Amino acid sequence: MCAAVLVTACAVSASAPTPPPVSTPGADCAAITAPPPRSAPPTSVNTLRQAYFCVLDNYYSGPVMDSRALLKSALAAYTQDLIRRGADRADLQLPALTGNRDTDWAAFAKVLGSGDPAALRAAITGMVAGLHDNHARWVRPTPPPEGGPIGTGIVGASAQQGPQLDPAARPPLFITRVLPGSPAAKADVRPGDIVVKVNGVPAFIGDTVNHGILDAFASDPVRLTLKRPTTGRTRTVEIRQGPITRQPPAVTSKTLPGGAVYVRLPGFYEGAADQVIARLRDKPKTVVLDLRGNGGGSPREVTRLLGAFAHGKITSYFCPLKGECVPNRTDDSVPLLGSRLIVLVDRGCASACDDFSAAVKDNGLGTLVGTRTAGAVSGPGEGYLLDDGSVLLLPKVRHLGPAREIIDTIGVPVDHYAPMTALDLATGRDPGVAKALTLL
């Protein structure tokens, strides 16, 4: 997934990793067993039909959903797209629906007729958004641009909550990460720079983050009004998208004063746990594990890494709509390190990172420092291929913490509050590490 909210060019290519194969009862959305095709027919009414039945057959609560709600969300998004383009239809309205998913679809499809491809894409997006599930997504693979990826190079901001903006974010909004050599870096945009406006749109309206800035950030060029916290100087820069270089995620480490080993883990990607464990082969007395900005990844990597700090522990539960919850447990094949664990987290710590943090806190495996995690952990998504080459990601189970508590939308609270500020980033200070050092 593209975890950074402010990446201005983020494509899901045909060569991107795909979710694990799944079984697909009922409708003819196909389980993903290979990368999506590089070319496929346009989005059609049949694509929307596939998505509709795929949700009802495969989504966590699909079997008990009111199918009328799905069609209402779809048509609302469909008509809104037409209105924006000045193409609204006088004959387009929601037909009388009965709650029978098959007859309702037939009536709905009759109203759509042949359908407008752009509006149909909006309809699928709106239908999935209507689930209000942070792990339900519709993705349209696009080929990578010739010459490699492009963007501004701004790939992190303080108001991020996993893959979206945090409604609880407090001003100011500041940049947290800029790719080296990118257009933004060449314009002297730095971590810690406070975003006052984007294309004239304020970052905050009062104390509420302005979600409209996401559309503004996606424009090319983008005009940023920035304030540098070290000098107080405000300036406006215009940045055009250009070539960017995104390095594969990698574990980094260093020794802190007092002998603790600091390890930064940017994501729970395949092999991540073993990379962290390799950095700790000398079995340090204390490990400071930095998960800030970690957008998640594989639940298997979570249980494997937790196995280095404890055995025989339940790390979470995956719960179906009906039946017993299935416990996930530490990977006890991993040798214990015997190290004390301090974990640095923030609102960018999402999904598998939420999962890891809850396991640490509930099982008493360590201390959490920073700010509450994102709470974006509804359940692992499974992938289904539609006839236009797009992919529908739907969770089949719900995630619960080790104490059977709901983490999703709430997050995991920290033991010691240590937020990062714009001035901290601009001057190279790290309140999280500083607090961790006092706990040694």
String of DSSP letters for 352-399: HHHHHHHHHHHTT--EEEES------S--EEEEE-TTS-EEEEESSEE
pTM for the full model? Answer: 0.90
Give the alpha-carbon dihedral of 423, 429, 432, 437, to 10 degrees: -150
Tell me the pLDDT band of 3, cut-offs 50, 70 and 90: very low
What is the pLDDT averaged over residues 415-432?
Answer: 97
Residue with more model confidence, 31 or 6: 31
The one-character DSSP state at 256 is: P
Where are the strands (E) in 191-260, listed by range? 194-198, 201-202, 204-205, 208-209, 222-227, 234-239, 242-243, 252-255
Residues above pLDDT 70, as percent of the chain: 93
The reported pLDDT for the residue numbered 22 is 36
Is the confidence at residue 1, as pLDDT, over 50?
no
The reported pLDDT for the residue numbered 161 is 81
Encoded amino acid at 259, one letter: G
* Two tokens, residue 345: 């987290």
Tell me the pLDDT band of 162, cut-offs 50, 70 and 90: low
* Two tokens, residue 287: 């490990």
What is the pLDDT averaged over residues 384-389?
Answer: 94
Is the confidence at residue 136, as pLDDT, over 70?
yes
What is the pLDDT averaged over residues 363-386?
Answer: 96
Q: What is the pLDDT of residues 13-44, one digit of tens each?
A: 333 333 333 333 335 888 887 777 777 789 99
Q: What is the pLDDT of residues 194-208, one digit of tens each?
A: 999 999 999 999 999
Residue with more model confidence, 355 or 167: 355
Neighbours of 170 (CB within 10 A): 13
| CATH fourth-level superfamily of 252-377+410-438 | 2-enoyl-CoA Hydratase; Chain A, domain 1 (3.90.226.10)
Tell me the pLDDT band of 287, cut-offs 50, 70 and 90: very high
Q: Are 239 and 9 within 8 A, CB to CB?
A: no
Q: Where are the domains of the chain?
A: 30-139, 150-243, 252-377+410-438
Q: What is the pLDDT of residues 323-351, one digit of tens each?
A: 999 999 999 999 999 999 999 999 999 99
- Average pLDDT across the chain, whole number: 91
Is the confidence at residue 353, as pLDDT, over 90?
yes
The reported pLDDT for the residue numbered 435 is 98
Q: What is the pLDDT of residues 238-279, one digit of tens each?
A: 999 999 988 889 999 999 999 999 999 999 999 999 999 999
* CATH 2.30.42.10 corresponds to the domain 150-243: yes
The reported pLDDT for the residue numbered 414 is 98
In 3D space, the residue among 329, 344, 339, 308 whose CA is nearest the CA of residue 420 turns out to be: 344
Residue with more model confidence, 141 or 229: 229
The C-alpha atoms of residue 392 and residue 32 are separated, in whole angstroms, by: 10
Q: Are 193 and 226 within 8 A, CB to CB?
A: yes
What is the pLDDT averaged over residues 383-391?
Answer: 94
